[in-house]
Every structure is written in C-alpha cells, then in structure tokens.
Amino acid sequence: MICSLCPRRCKAERTETRNINGFCKMPLLPRVARADLHFWEEPVISGEKGSGTVFFSGCSLDCAFCQNYEVSHKGKGKTVSLERLAEIFRELEKRGAHNINLVTPSHYTLAIKKALDIYRPQIPIVYNSGGYDSVEALKMLEGYIDVYLMDLKYLSGDRAALYSGAEDYPQIAAAAIAEAYRQCPQSVIKNGLMQKGVIVRHLLLPQGTREAMNVFDWVRQNTPRAYFSIMSQYIPLGRAQDMPIINRKTTHREYEKVVDYICGFDFENVFVQELESAKTDFIPNFNLP
C-alpha cells in the first residue's frame, strides 16, 4: 500500500510488516505498546472501572515534549494480527472496561476498521488522537466511532512547527475536529459515562496562556455541544528539556490565569485537570502486558 492516511501524505510503502520511508515508521498491521484498563482519562471516560485503552506505536506528529516518547518516536511495541486486535477488544470488554480507547490511532485507521468488523464490542469506541487527522480517514470511520477524544494543541502555526514539526497543524486539526463533531454532534452521558460525543483537549504549555484561551474560544464557538478539557500535566521530557521556553513546568500563575478565563464564560462542559497532575507517576508503563 502507498500510504496517504495521515496529513503527512508521505506516500510511504507500507506492507503488513514493513514501512519504507514513512514518517510514522509503522507497518499496516497494528503495533501495540500497551492494552490495559486505564484510569487517568477524563472522568466520563475512565469512570470507576477504567477505560479499555490500547496504545498504538508510532505517530504522525513529532512533538518535542511527548510523554510517550518510547512508543511514539522509538516505536516500542508488539505487532499483532487483526484477529488478535479484535481479541484484545473483547478481553478488555470482559474485564469490565467502560469503553475501548484507541490511543494514537491515526495511522492505523484501516486496521482498526477491519478489527472492529471482526468483533464490535457492546461498549463505546473512543478515538483518542493528537488531532492531526485527515478528514478523509475520519470519514472512513463514520459509524465505527462513538466518542472522539481529540487534541487541539495549537492555533499558532509557528508553535506547531517548532514543537510538533507540523506548521499546518492548526488548520488540519480544526478540520478534523469539525468532522468529528459532524459525526457526533450531541454529547450523550449515561450514569456518568460518555456514550457519544466529542471532547477537545488542550495541554497548557509554558508561556502558552494566550494559546490556551484562543483554543477554548475556538471550541465554544465552533463545537458548542462538545466538551473542553484543559490539561495541566505538562512535564519537560525528551527534546523539550533543551528548548528554552518549554524546559520547565507550567506555573500556578499560568494555570490560574487560564482557569479563571474559562470560568468567566457560560460554558459548562469543561474538565479542568489539577496542576498537581504534572508528575511522571501518571505516564503509563509500556511493558506490553
């Protein structure tokens, strides 16, 4: 297959086991770094029993501060068949997962669709991405995805280029979220758990208060029935430790400025992560359980 699934459109040659000159470096068969119950998502996703999270290896972004660096950049993981991926969905469902949470799925759209054709769990399917998704690929998943949990990392092309190697990120992510919202325009929550809908996340970066406010404004204006989640878990890891502006945690002042701004609007669908969440304790252990 000559791949154009993600916005990179690098036209890599991807076979079931190889990737030749592709940005994500991943084959067509899914490579999985972790599949387990996960309790550190938004409350409507994790609930009490946990989200059945499948962490895929590789990524179409190149975020300098990625907390899952060994998975996204180094490709740690185990390649599994489509049948095995479907079995993983079934196993997580049997363990009581509230949903199947597909993390960094953009480059595995075809594999995920085929695995869900083999076995479709009776719990919601969550598409958990960095927001750098092509509208065409998302349209392929229409009817398969119940909840879109997507980042809107930047509305500044300069910051997107500097920190994620994708100057076109703002317009790509805005279009992707608009497509997700078209597919799931209403938020449906039962017994405290999201069954349908869109959650737009934004990670607050150092000196990123204005960016965070702009992203919040975009969400409330363009996807008014979606949820907005402001995350404060930023830790300078990887290349971020060598970048002067982001080689520190966000401050209480930065955090409070953004939270106060959000609270100044009549927009109730908001999750606010506590600043104390900026700890390495919350980074999953990718030991392939």
> What is the reported pLDDT for 182?
98
User: E strand or H helix at 283, and its extent?
Assistant: none
**pLDDT digit string (tens) for the chain, length 289 residues:** 999 999 999 999 999 999 999 999 999 999 999 999 999 999 999 999 999 999 999 999 999 999 988 899 888 999 999 999 999 999 999 999 999 999 999 999 999 999 999 999 999 999 999 999 999 999 999 999 999 999 999 999 999 999 999 999 999 999 999 999 999 999 999 999 999 999 999 999 999 999 999 999 999 999 999 999 999 999 999 899 999 999 999 999 999 999 999 999 999 999 999 998 887 776 777 776 5
CATH of region 27-282: 3.20.20.70
Are 30 and 78 in contact by the 8 Å Cβ rule? The answer is no
Query: Token pair of 243, please?
Result: 């970048």
> What is the reported pLDDT for 278?
81
> What is the reported pLDDT for 277?
86
> What is the reported pLDDT for 267?
95
Could you give the count of Cα atoms lying within 13 Å of 229 in the half-sphere of its Cβ?
17
Strand partners of residue 2 = 13
Query: Token pair of 23, please?
Result: 């940005």
> What is the reported pLDDT for 74?
87
Please, what is the end-to-end C-alpha distance for the chain in angstroms? 30
Q: HEC string of 145-177?
A: CCEEEEECCCCCHHHHHHHHCCCCHHHHHHHHH
> What is the reported pLDDT for 185?
97
Domain ranges of the chain: 27-282
